[in-house]
């Protein structure tokens, strides 16, 4: 007895398989999207540029990492969180 249900055509063996939803450590992420690895030289460069007042975007270009990775690394290094210009007048 054949039971029809939504998605039954996907279960047939003649269709090509999709990318695996979870295979090892893949878990659906794009290749190369692993956690960033910062060297001690990168940390020194981040601290130097941060103290000089460079924005996160400039620091990210110098280090070669995305801005969010640099932002999180600044927090891990204990650098104070920068407050946007629009909030400085309100504090």
The pLDDT score that the predictor gives to residue 91 is 46
Listing DSSP states for 19-65 in one string gives --S-STT-TTPPTT-SPP---HHHHHHHHHHHHHT--HHHHHHHHTS
54-77 confidence digits (pLDDT tens): 999 999 999 999 898 999 999 999
The pLDDT score that the predictor gives to residue 81 is 84
The pLDDT score that the predictor gives to residue 25 is 58
Alpha-carbon 2 to chain mean position: 46
Local confidence band at 2 (pLDDT 50, 70, 90 cut-offs): low
13-67 confidence digits (pLDDT tens): 555 556 555 555 555 656 666 667 889 999 999 999 999 999 999 999 999 998 9
* Architecture (CATH level 2) of domain 34-80: Orthogonal Bundle (1.10)
């Amino acid at each position: 007895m054949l039971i029809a249900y939504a998605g039954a055509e996907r279960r047939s063996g003649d269709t090509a398989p999709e990318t695996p939803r979870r295979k090892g450590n893949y878990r659906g992420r794009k290749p190369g999207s692993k956690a960033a690895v910062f060297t001690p030289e990168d940390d020194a460069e981040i601290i130097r540029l941060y103290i000089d007042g460079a924005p996160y975007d400039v620091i990210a270009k110098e280090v070669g990492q995305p801005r969010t990775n640099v932002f999180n690394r600044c927090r891990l290094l204990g650098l104070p969180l920068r407050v946007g210009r629009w909030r400085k007048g309100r504090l």
